[in-house]
Amino acid sequence: MGVQHVAIGIDVGGTGIKGAAIDLATGERITSRHKVATPVGGVPADIAREVGAMTDAIRVEIADRVAAGDAKVAGVAGIATAAEVAALPVGVTLPGVVRNGVMRTAANIDLSWIGTDAHALLAAAVAAPCTVVNDADAAGVAEVAYGEVSGLPGVTLVLTFGTGIGSALVADGVLVPNFELGHLELDGFTSIEHHTSAKVIEREGITLAEWAGRAARYVAYLEKVINPDRFVIGGSISKASDEYLPFAGVAVPVSPARLRNNAGIIGAARLAAEALDPDSANSAP
Ligand code: BGC
């Protein structure tokens, strides 16, 4: 298997930055999950520095594992040289609209991201082929490729509840990018994420059950106006799904993201590899 079957994914959120190297044939991690807090303020230069440092740490881990004879990394990845590790594509998610590599909105990171050529900044920080994408879109891509939506026809709305609310609309396996349903004006809130993101549990000191009531109201409203065939719930809240699903008043299936809060990392890695070679994730080893 060639090196194009492995990519690094880095998921930048308003609270944390998470990353790993991913085996694109399976969507599984071949390194540990690296995590740091998002730098206070979330300005572009600080985040770019952290993304660069995390990418380097993942590269070191890959090289160490290969040197130690880790069969999984050496066998799955087929990576032998430091140059091959350094050239692995890197996908980075950002929590805002990203169009042609330029960030167009920024709700939970510094406003100076708006208009920033995120692709140029982050490609320089990682010094490798780099793809930049909205975080929820990356999660949607991962759930289509390896998770809850794999092989499913029809319309799926993936919602990620974390610091904000992200959304990815997938129709017959194809992503419609940059849906921003966390910023819907509903129930008197100019952005419904201010009332219903996972962050409000801590910020307002509400219970998970209270949060679930808000989320159910929001999802029922989305069902009414968008009519998807199913909802998939991702983001940091997805790990507690047993405690809040099903949502009252929602008729179509609502399931937790199978890749949980790792979907952003996995989808970013996949998109980075696809940008280099559209067949990278699907061709035979
Ligand atoms: C942003 C979205 C993002 C979501 C989750 C929202 O505030 O506008 O682009 O996907 O937060 O991070």
**Is 9 touching ligand 1 by the criterion CB < 6 Å?**
no
**Is 137 touching ligand 1 by the criterion CB < 6 Å?**
no
| Closest CA to ligand 1's atom 9 | 96
**Is 180 touching ligand 1 by the criterion CB < 6 Å?**
yes
pLDDT digits (tens, 9 = 90+) for 150-179: 999 999 999 999 999 999 999 999 999 999
Class in CATH terms, 148-257: alpha beta
Residue 283 has pLDDT above 80, yes or no: no
Domains 3-138+262-276 and 148-257 share a fold: yes
How would you label 210-235 residue by residue, b for 16+ Cβ within 10 Å and e otherwise?
ebbbbbbbbbebbbeeeebebbbbbb
Question: Using an 8 Å Cβ cutoff, are 42 and 108 in contact?
Answer: yes
Using alpha carbons, list the distances in angstroms from residue 55 to 38, 126, 221. Answer: 15, 7, 40
Distance CA(16)–CA(73), nearest Å, equals 26
Cis peptide preceding 246, ω within 30 of 0 = yes
Mean pLDDT of 111-118: 98
3-state class of 233 per DSSP?
A: strand
Start-to-end CA span in the chain (Å): 5
Question: Using an 8 Å Cβ cutoff, are 261 and 235 in contact?
Answer: yes
Residue 76's pLDDT is 65
Of all residues in the chain, what percent carry a pLDDT higher than 90? 86
CA of 70 to the centre of ligand 1 (A): 37
Mean pLDDT, the chain, whole residue set: 93
The pTM (predicted TM-score) of the whole model is 0.94
Residue 75's pLDDT is 67
CA of 160 to the centre of ligand 1 (A): 9
Domain 3-138+262-276: CATH architecture, name and number where available = 2-Layer Sandwich (3.30)
Mean pLDDT of 6-32: 95
- Domain borders along the chain are 3-138+262-276, 148-257
Mean pLDDT of 225-230: 97
CA of 163 to the centre of ligand 1 (A): 8
Ligand 1 closest atom vs CA 164: 11
**Is 191 touching ligand 1 by the criterion CB < 6 Å?**
no
The two three-digit tokens of residue 48, written as one number: 């770019």
Element (H, E) at 231: strand 230-234
